[in-house]
Amino acid sequence: MIVVGQHKRHEIDESGAGPTDRKPLSKGEVFELLRNQRRRYVLHFLKRDDRPVELGDLAQQVAAWEYETSLESVTAEQRKRVYTTLQQTHLPKMDEAGILTFDSDRGIVEPTTRTRDVSVYLEIVPSREFAWRELYLSLGAVSCALVAALWAGIYPLTILSPVTWAGIIAVTLTVTAVGHIYYERNMRVGHGDQPPELRYGDE
């Protein structure tokens, strides 16, 4: 699942005179644009490095991620395939949306304000793991059952006081939330050397 968002910030035109008149992208538009993995790889590269890049270098890195190999091991055919689709399809669409600027004559791709502002979070749940929402639901159900058992005075739960149980529940939820925050930060496009699909995808 892809969760998208945008920080609210005025975009400045190239002259620095003030905000542009470009209409902000809706979450639906961003989702539609970035549901393609190759475009997410481009966004990851630009958010990570935050600098202009030559199309050839970008294609080389995207191909390495896509074929899960090193930069040096990317074949000419793999690089060409990625290069062509980036040049003809993906980069023009992202340029039109303002997520990046693509100078097709010079073959240069540059980040924009929107590159930095668009936030993309990928929730990739391997079959052997719970989704976070299911984990929280499970913790909530266990907590409710525990409260009911304490209210009914069921032994051996009554060995510990209600205050102690409340502390255990609070600590468990807090630790889970901290883990969730850490995981979510690492699942954001632009964070880390590799795209999150490669770090946390199904094996």
Q: Output the pLDDT for position 14.
A: 41
Q: Output the pLDDT for position 72.
A: 93
- Nearest Cα neighbor of 64 from 200, 195, 196 is 195
Q: Output the pLDDT for position 91.
A: 96
The 10 Å CB-count burial string (b at 16+, else e) for 20-53 is: eeeeebeeeebeebbeeebbbbbbbbbbbeeeeb
DSSP calls for 156-200: TGGGS-HHHHHHHHHHHHHHHHHHHHHHHHHTBTTSSSS-HHHHH
Angle, vertex CA 195, rays to CA 192 and CA 201, nearest 5: 115
User: In this structure, what token pair is assigned to residue 103?
Assistant: 């100078």
* H-state helical runs in 7-112: 27-34, 37-49, 55-66, 76-85, 91-97
The 10 Å CB-count burial string (b at 16+, else e) for 143-177 is: beebeeebeeeeeeeeeeeeeebeeebeeeeeeee
Q: Output the pLDDT for position 192.
A: 63
User: Is domain 2-123+187-200 given the CATH code 1.10.10 in the classification?
Assistant: yes
User: What are the domain boundaries of the chain?
Assistant: 2-123+187-200, 132-186
3-state DSSP percent of the chain in helix, strand and coil, to 5:
60, 10, 30
Q: What is the enclosing helix (H) or strand (E) of 111?
A: strand 108-111
Task: From residue 160, give the alpha-carbon distance in Å to each of 108, 164, 165, 167.
Answer: 65, 6, 7, 11
Q: Output the pLDDT for position 185.
A: 67
User: pLDDT truncated to tens, each residue of the chain (203 aa)?
Assistant: 545 554 444 343 443 333 444 667 777 777 788 888 899 899 889 988 889 999 999 999 999 999 999 999 999 999 999 999 999 999 999 999 888 999 999 999 999 988 877 765 554 444 444 477 788 888 999 999 999 998 999 988 889 998 999 999 999 999 988 887 777 766 666 666 677 677 655 44
Q: Output the pLDDT for position 178.
A: 87
Q: Output the pLDDT for position 199.
A: 63
